[in-house]
Amino acid sequence: MSDIIEAYLKEFLKDSKHIEIKRSDIADHFDCVPSQINYVINTRFTQEHGYQVESKRGGGGYIRILKIQLTSEADQIDQMLELIGDQLSYRNGVNIIETLIEQQIITKREGRLILSVIEKSVLHTISNQDQVARAMLLKTFLHQLKYELRSSI
């Protein structure tokens, strides 16, 4: 169900920079509970995926989903580097890699290779601070990718 709701919302975002929805309207449309809509928005429309979400609660409340428009691939990488910080959960790492693939900055094969390196079981055998190690590895990859993009111009 989550995939269907995500696809439905992304269909509207294809032709627009943002959409405004009422959580209850979307829940009624899909005959599901409003918390299902929250789940989709909180997991599929994150900054790591290239979206910003604003909401207003109450009777006239809404949820606004904005597609973040960056001017270049290097800008996208800079934003991702900023999001990572000193620690990175596996889920957020996956989100970043999925976004790089979706934006065609890296291939699916490259994404799978990176994911294999930042996987919990791999990092835990190396360090008991797997979130710190994951952040360092992904930042190193993104810095190299940014360097490659700039040197190819």
Residue 129 structural domain: 73-151
**Domain closes at, from 67, 96, 120:** 67
Statement to judge: residues 85 and 23 lie in one domain: no
Q: Which residues pair with 18 in a beta bridge?
A: 66
- On whether both 83 and 108 belong to a single domain, the answer is yes
- Statement to judge: residues 7 and 49 lie in one domain: yes
Burial of 100 (0-12, 13-18, 19+ CB in 10 A): buried
- From CA 103, how far away is CA 85, in angstroms rounded? 22
Q: CA 26 to CA 12: how far, in whole Å?
A: 13
Q: Are residues 92 and 43 in the same domain?
A: no
- pLDDT given for residue 116 in this prediction: 92
Question: Looking at the DSSP assignment, which residues form a beta bridge with residue 64?
Answer: 20, 54
At 60 the pLDDT is 64
**CATH number (domain holding residue 116):** 1.10.1200.150
Of 67, 86, 105, the residue that ends a domain is: 67
The number of distinct structural domains making up the chain is 2
Return the SS3 of 150. helix
For strand 18-21 and strand 62-67, is the pairing parallel, antiparallel, or unpaired? Answer: antiparallel
pTM for this entry? 0.59
Contact present, 91 and 138 (Cβ < 8 Å): no
Domain at 44, CATH number = 3.30.56.130
Among 112, 111, 115, 88, which Cα is nearest to 100's? 111
Query: Which amino acid is present at 40?
Result: V
Last residue of a domain, one of 20, 47, 67: 67
- List the chain pLDDT tens, one digit each, 153 residues: 899 999 999 988 888 888 999 888 999 999 999 889 989 999 889 887 888 898 887 766 789 998 876 667 888 888 888 888 899 999 889 989 998 998 888 999 999 999 999 988 888 777 778 889 999 999 999 988 888 776 665
Beta strands in the chain (DSSP E): 18-21, 51-56, 62-67
On whether the CB atoms of residues 90 and 134 are closer than 8 A, the answer is: yes
Same-domain status, 89 and 133: yes
pLDDT of residue 148: 79
